[in-house]
Structure 1
């Protein structure tokens, strides 16, 4: 069965146009990039990750702030961390180290453990729980998806953070 060149070109144009429409429909529907899963990973993925101090991140969508009302230095968190004062990076980085606030404003370089006054959770499907003590113990402040707060029970007494689907 022979197909004319004109007919073949018409089919190719129709297929290409249909593909274009499908891509345009997906783009217009507002399909967002998938956010990271904070219930996976941990301190070793945090050690040298540039997302920790990025202005915006799909992987690290929780932020501690040094001051109340989301002010001062901040740091992005992307995983549950059992002790903000003793991260264990593993690999070629022996020992432990404290997580510090990024070099951006009042409190820059200070330890995050026992120094956060407010926090914001940009995760859409996960609740964050800030714990007074390490290993997810003691008093807590819970922060729901797309929400922030001045810490109360853990104000300047935050040692660990956990995430769960909610």
Structure 2
């Protein structure tokens, strides 16, 4: 029986190492568990927006942030799902919540509603774009923010923001 050459054994070992790594990656996934912000919440999931995690410093479920002032200053609140109308969070028949508000104790503007009061935003999502709209229902002028980006809202949307939606990008 002929023996394998050293080069051939090295090529087989490299191929096996690559195959094992590919299988390991298919089961491992990324080191964090970023949620899918394109999924709208339903009436049984009101905890999504009312959750205290919306005021955590960083969360895998709430990776978009509205700021009260320009340049990421002042109070803030995190969002992790499309919001049809920031002034009237609706979770189905018989369950509506008050407007989305900036988190308590996060700076100037805390406790104020985020709708029509935001001047800057940041999108921490890696694979999703955020779209901030002038009007409720994802209508009117829009500012787009790519993954891991943010900035001041445009002159049209500065303190005139009513809804947010997310897309794959």
Query: Aligned pairs, how many?
Result: 140
CA contact (8 A) 1:132 1:157 kept: yes
Q: Which residue matches 2:91?
A: 89
SS at match of 1:69: coil
Runs of 4+ in 1 over 2 A off after TM superposition: 41-48, 93-96
Match of 1:66 among 60, 65, 68: 68
Tell whether 2:164 aligns with 1:161: yes
Distance in 2 between residues matched to 1:87 and 1:95, nearest whole Å: 6
Pairing of 1:94-113 with structure 2 (within 5 A): 94-103=95-104, 104-113=106-115
**1:90 Cα deviation (Å)?**
4.4
Question: Is 1:65–1:118's contact at 8 Å kept on the other side of the alignment?
Answer: yes
User: What residue in structure 1 maps to residue 14 of structure 2?
Assistant: none
Could you tell me which of 125, 139, 146 is aligned with 2:141? 139
Tell me: CA distance 1:109–1:32, structure 2 relative to 1, closer, same or farther (3 Å). same
Per-residue deviation at 1:32? 1.8
- Contact conserved, 1:47 with 1:89, CA < 8 A, in 2? no
Q: What residue in structure 2 maps to residue 17 of structure 1?
A: none
In structure 2, stretches of 5+ residues that fail to align are 1-20
1:53 to 52, 55, 61: 55
How do 1:9-28 and structure 2 match up within 5 A? none
TM-score computed with the length of structure 2 as normaliser: 0.76
- Tell me if the contact between 2:49 and 2:79 (Cα under 8 Å) persists in the aligned partners: no
Distance between the aligned counterparts of 1:123 and 1:162, measured in 2? 13
2:101 counterpart SS class: coil
Residue 69 of structure 2 contacts residue 120 of structure 2 at CA under 8 Å; is this kept in 1? yes
User: Which of 73, 77, 80 is the equivalent residue of 1:75?
Assistant: 77
Partner Cα distance (1:74, 1:145) in 2: 19
